[in-house]
Amino acid sequence: MARGSWGAASLLTVLLLAPGCGPTDDTVKEQPMDTPPPSASSGVDPSEQARAAVDDLAARLQTDPAAIEVVAEEPVTWRDGSLGCARPGMSYTQAMVEGLRITLRVDGADHEYHSSGDRQPFWCKDPTQ
């Protein structure tokens, strides 16, 4: 009788462990990105917003627009209505905002312009995002 109990216990053990040996569907699947990856646009025809940023910076610095390089033009999700350019003492909508970060370079110094939707890009002296 001890022999039958041993066989039943072995069979029960195999049946309990067998499902763990099979293939599982727990594979990690690639998730789509919420925003496209940043892309440097040097050497590429800049967008209308980047051209507007170049014109603004040229006027601000009183320099030739041809001296300004578009280093990057990247889509971004701003974490609030400040569009990554929050100022102390100001309050902003607390909602994510789709927009664009444009990085310009002139005389070795980088300058950031931020925008969203139909809003024209604006110079952001001290970016917070």
HSE-up of 72 (CA within 13 Å, CB side)? 14
Distance CA 27, CA 108 (A): 47
3-60 pLDDT, tens digit per residue, is 556 555 565 565 666 555 555 555 444 444 444 444 443 444 568 999 999 999 999 9
Distance CA 123, CA 60 (A): 10
Pairing of strands 119-124, 97-106: unpaired
Domain ranges of the chain: 48-124
Tell me what pLDDT residue 74 has: 95
Question: Nearest-CA neighbor of 52 among 104, 99, 87, 98?
Answer: 104
Residue reference for tokens 């100022």? 87
Tell me what pLDDT residue 93 has: 93
Which residues lie below 8 Å from residue 85, measured CB to CB, with a gap of 6+?
A: 114, 122, 124, 125, 126, 127, 128
Q: What is the pTM of this model?
A: 0.64
